[in-house]
Amino acid sequence: MRELCPWYALSVKHQHEAAVRLALGFKGFEALAPTYRARRRWSDRIQEIDLPLFAGYVFCRFAYAKRVQVIETPGVARVVGFGGQPAEVSEVEIAAIRAVMVSKLPVRPRRYLKPGDRVRVERGPLGGVEGTLLRVEDERLQLVIGVEMLQRSLAVELGSDMVVPKPVHGRQRMAV
């Protein structure tokens, strides 16, 4: 029995996810660029459109020895990696993404936040407040705001759509 090749994430040009997926499929590679339905308002109408669930990325299964064929695909910028080494995407994570897509349940992208992240409240009565994310449960986040001089802090619960990762040195931190 032949072993399956690993999955990799590919960084692609802006709004090239679908074209890259099709081109990779044409070359014989298994590629995944999941989408979600979103409503967009134009001046004269509201329309539902498909948008990439992972904007700027396409998942592709290939033997790393064939990476040149993948990278030469129009729209592909690079194979995502760390420390100069390509990073494999877990088969379990790909299976979970596929299961969600097949389920036809409502889905949307969400910022990747984890306890300990510094965040800024973007909306609501606490707009502009910064703190440390303590816990993530369902659609609720617990944010800790500290007073260093007193060595005391408070915790407040917010909706997950109210916060964004705090920029690091003027840039947004990205989890890739």
Per-residue pLDDT of the chain (176 residues; tens, 9 = 90+): 456 899 999 999 999 999 999 999 999 999 999 999 988 888 899 999 999 999 999 999 999 999 999 999 999 999 999 898 999 999 999 999 998 888 887 787 776 777 888 888 888 888 888 888 877 776 677 777 765 645 666 677 888 778 888 876 554 444 43
Length, in residues, of the chain? 176
CB contact at 8 A, 134 and 155: yes
Cα separation of 102 and 175, whole Å? 25
Nearest to 4 by CA among 73, 91, 67, 65: 91
pTM of the model: 0.71
Q: Are 136 and 114 contacting, i.e. CB atoms less than 8 angstroms apart?
A: yes
Quote the longest CA-to-CA distance of the chain.
Answer: 64
For 108-117, letters b (16+ CB in 10 Å) and e give: eeeeebeeeb
